[in-house]
Structure 1
Amino acid sequence: MKHIDFYLDFISPYAHLAFEHLPEALEGLSVSVAYKPVLLGALLKHHGQLGPAEIPSKRSWTYRHVLWLGHAHGLPIEMPASHPYNPLPHLRLAVATSDDGSISRLAAETIFRHVWRGGEEAGDATRLAALTAQLQPKRDVNGDENKALLKRNTDEAVAQGVFGVPCYVVDGRLFWGFDGLALLRAYLQGDAWFDGPQWTGADQRPSLLRSSKS
């Protein structure tokens, strides 16, 4: 049986869509999945990237794109009243429901739908308190032990080369994005393409970086 580490941050609409679509993407396959919350902002900072919502034109495209993807795939999704928002409370709550930083599918589903259905403020204090009561965390959400678990997940993701969410790691191979689910399924089905030069050699070439000076 193959094992998948699914790295996610609830701030990402693509992670929400991928999470909802995952059962269909893995239908008929024998796999186990560990759902691991990570702080997307820390991944972006490590790799020197801006988030999609930090680039105005990309922000506009991203929101339209994810709403279209939901429509096209029959996946319910609504933009929260404000976005981006601070996802730390949701991430810490998620991790606090777990023993080791890997959360249940039910906990992930509950939080994703809290953020991405209904069009309300994701970070509203009253809603967050109700969500916390519903999930019944096992430890202090803002305690040092819990913060360390979230950091460990994020550090682990960085060590494996994860640069964004959603990301799925299996057999040391990294698959990224909602559209990456199709590649993931093909790999799990044993497609020989993944042992050929188009996968193994795609990045084995020099990079001709452009200089900022003319």
Structure 2
Amino acid sequence: MKHITFYLDFISPYAHLAFEKLPQALEGLSYSVDYRPVLFAGLLKHHGQLGPAEIAGKRDWTYRQVLWLAHANGIELQMPAAHPFNPLALLRLAVACGDNGLANRYVCETIFRHVWRGGADASDAQRFDALKAALNPKRDPSSDDVKNELKANTEGAISADLFGVPTCVVDAKHFWGFDALPMLRAYLQGDDWFNGTAWDEAARVAAGLVRPR
């Protein structure tokens, strides 16, 4: 049985799509999954990037594509009333419901759907209080241990060279994005392509031009 670590942030619509589709995409295969919340903004800051929702034009396209992908894949999704938003409270709630920086699938599903179904404000205080009451976390989401676990998750993701969410990691291989699910399935099925040289050679392509930051 292969073990997958699914890195996520509830701010990402692509993470929501991948989360919803994962069981169907990997149907019939033997695997286990850990769901590990991270702060996507921390990854962006480390790599000196803006998020897609922070770039004019790309923001509009991202939302259109997400809505289309949800429609095409039979996944319920409505944009929240405002995006991007600060996901820290939701991430800490997820971590507070679990142990060692992990959250179970039910908790993640509940929070993802809190954000990506119904079109409400994901940051609304009353909605958050109701969500927190429904999940009944075992620890205080505002406690130092929860904050430190989320920080450690994010720092660990950076140390492992992750740059975005969703990312599925299995056997130290990274599969980034909703559209990587077929590739992940092929790997778990033992596709011969992964026994060749292409995976490693892709990382050895020389950079022809590097722009200063």
Bucket of the pairwise TM-score, normalised by the shorter protein: over 0.9
Structure 1 unaligned spans of 5+: none
Please report how far the alpha carbon of residue 9 of structure 1 lies from its aligned counterpart in structure 2 after TM superposition.
Answer: 0.1
* Aligned residue in 1 for 2:81: 81
Secondary structure of the residue aligned to 1:76 is coil
1:64 is matched with: 64
Cα distance per residue 1:22-64 (max 9 Å; x no partner): 0011100110000000000001111111100110111000000
Partner of 2:36: 36
Partner of 2:147: 147
Tell me, in whole angstroms, the C-alpha distance in 1 between the residues paired with 2:85 and 2:190: 39
Q: CA deviation at 1:211?
A: 5.5
Q: Kindly tell me: are residues 53 and 211 of structure 1, through their superposed partners in 2, closer, same or farther at Cα, counting changes over 3 Å?
A: closer
Matches of 2:186 and 2:103 in 1, distance apart?
Answer: 26
Task: Indicate the residue corresponding to 1:116 in structure 2.
Answer: 116
Deviation at 1:203, TM superposition (A): 2.0
SS state at 1:179 partner = helix
Distance 1:182 1:46 in 2: 28
- SS of the aligned residue for 1:56 comes to coil
Query: TM-score with structure 1 length normalisation?
Result: 0.97
Distance 1:141 1:80 in 2: 23
Which 4+ runs in 1 deviate beyond 2 A? none
Q: Distance in 1 between matches of 2:102 and 2:185?
A: 22
Q: Does 1:10 align with 2:10?
A: yes
- 3-state SS, counterpart of residue 94 of structure 1: helix
**Is 1:165 aligned to 2:165, yes or no?**
yes
Percent identical among aligned pairs is 63
DSSP-derived class of the 1:137 partner: coil
Output one character per residue of 1:111-156: Cα deviation in whole Å (capped at 9) or x when no partner: 0000000000001000000000001111111111010010111111
Over aligned residues, Cα RMSD in angstroms? 1.0
Q: Counterpart amino acid of 1:142?
A: S
Quote how far apart the aligned CAs of 1:198 are.
Answer: 1.7
Cα separation, 1, equivalents of 2:10 and 2:211: 37
SS in structure 1 at match of 2:46: helix
1:97 aligns with 2:94: no
How far 1:210 moved relative to its partner?
5.0
Unaligned stretches of 5+ residues in structure 2 = none
Q: Is the 8 A contact 1:194 1:200 kept in 2?
A: no
Q: Counterpart in 2 of 1:128?
A: 128
| Match in the other structure for 1:203 | 203
Provide Cα deviations, 1:58-103, integer angstroms capped at 9, x if missing partner.
1000000000000000000000000000000000000000011111
Give me the whole-angstrom Cα distance separating, in 1, the residues matched to 2:16 and 2:146: 23
**Aligned-partner residue type, residue 41 of structure 2:** G
Query: Counterparts of 1:135 and 1:79 in 2: how far apart (Å)?
Result: 23
Aligned residue for 1:201, secondary structure, equals helix
